[in-house]
Amino acid sequence: MKLITVSGPPSSGKTSVIGKTIEALEKKAIELAVIKFDCLSTADELIYEKKGIKTKLGLSGSLCPDHYFVNNIDACFHWGLKENVAILITESAGLCNRCSPHIKGVLSVCVIDNLSGCHTPKKIGPMLKFADIVVITKGDIVSQAEREVFAYNVKIVNPKAKILHINGITGQGAAELGRLFFSANDYENLDDKKLRFTMPAALCSYCLGETMIGKDYHIGNVKNMKL
């Protein structure tokens, strides 16, 4: 089974890009499924179901969604195998820009949008810097110059990535992404696979439910701001 991890900041167009790409792939009649990871709630699984795409939803609740992702990806992979899926796509929201859901050897896609501003590529961590493919969306509503500066900044932070421009509404460019999905590696399991980069860390009193403010309550992995 081929596994593809798709990540990107909230509302950057991940669901639209995946939806349009699957539409483009469907003519090839292969079994596809999407696993949607999110935090509190989402209606995206309904969007997929409406399109007739097999979907599973994982909500991380109060946990870091990235950690939740990596704790569940193995089980998701097995589910995909059991369901005879040929291409399994995971969609995870990069909520803090320090997310790092990409796995070595597994095709990784980061979706970012032109509306987020020209300097945004510089502010995004491993999910952009270590992606194989960077999809840039919403190019139809900003000026050509801003599009060029944006793509240029992506290229500087991740020189190796292939950059694709996809219009999530018309689907322009999605067929090309679909073609790249076929180049993803096939795996029988995820044994011995490693993350491309460490995930955001946290292990302090607040992780365990502390709500009081003040030095006396800071326990664990704590970092102090330089003022």
Partner 1 sequence: MEGSWQLKNPYNFLTEMGFDLPDKNQSLDQYFDFIDDDMLEDMGTNKEMIYASYNALHEQFEEEPDVKVKSILIKGGFNKDGEKESIDILLKPGEIVSLVGPTGSGKSRLLADIEWLAQADTPTGRVIVINGILPDESKRYSFDEKLISQLSQNMNFVMDANVEEFIRMHAESRNIKQIDEVLETIIKHANDLAGEPFSLETPLTALSGGQSRALMIVDVAFLSKSPIVLIDEIENAGIDRRKAMEFLVNAEKIILIATHDPVLALMANRRLVIRNGGMYKIIESDESEKKVLDKLEKRDRETQKIRNALREGQKVQCD
Nearest CB to partner 1, comparing residues 63 and 118: 118
Q: Does 62 bind partner 1 (CB under 8 A)?
A: no
Tokens of 196: 């491309």
Residues 111-140 as x/- pattern, contact with partner 1 by CB under 8 A: ---xx-xxx--x--xx--xx--------xx
Q: Which of 70, 197, 207, 218 binds partner 1 (CB under 8 A)?
A: 197
- Kindly report the number of other CB atoms within 10 A of residue 32's CB atom: 21
Could you give the CA distance from residue 7 to residue 47 in angstroms, rounded to a whole number? 17
Nearest CB to partner 1, comparing residues 83 and 148: 148
Q: Which of 57, 172, 195, 204 binds partner 1 (CB under 8 A)?
A: 172
CA 165 to chain centre: 16
Could you give the CA distance from residue 103 to residue 130 in angstroms, rounded to a whole number? 9
Nearest CB to partner 1, comparing residues 54 and 147: 147
Q: Does 92 bind partner 1 (CB under 8 A)?
A: no
Q: Does 198 bind partner 1 (CB under 8 A)?
A: yes
What single-letter amino acid sits at 137? T
Q: Does 12 bind partner 1 (CB under 8 A)?
A: no
Task: Please state the three-class secondary structure of 174-202 as a single string.
Answer: HHHHHHHHCCCCECCCCCCCCECCCCCCC
Tell the residue number behind the tokens 């020209």, with chain if given. Answer: 118
Q: Which of 90, 100, 108, 137 binds partner 1 (CB under 8 A)?
A: 100
Q: Does 54 bind partner 1 (CB under 8 A)?
A: no
The Cβ-side half-sphere exposure at 28, using a 13 Å CA radius, reads 15
Q: Does 144 bind partner 1 (CB under 8 A)?
A: yes
CA 121 to chain centre: 15
CB of 107 to partner 1, least distance (A): 16
CB of 143 to partner 1, least distance (A): 5
Could you give the CA distance from residue 99 to residue 225 in angstroms, rounded to a whole number? 21
Could you give the CA distance from residue 138 to residue 225 in angstroms, rounded to a whole number? 36
Q: Does 67 bind partner 1 (CB under 8 A)?
A: no
Residues binding partner 1 (CB under 8 A): 24, 27, 98, 100, 114-115, 117-119, 122, 125-126, 129-130, 139-149, 151-153, 155-160, 162-163, 165, 167, 170, 172-173, 175-176, 179, 197-198
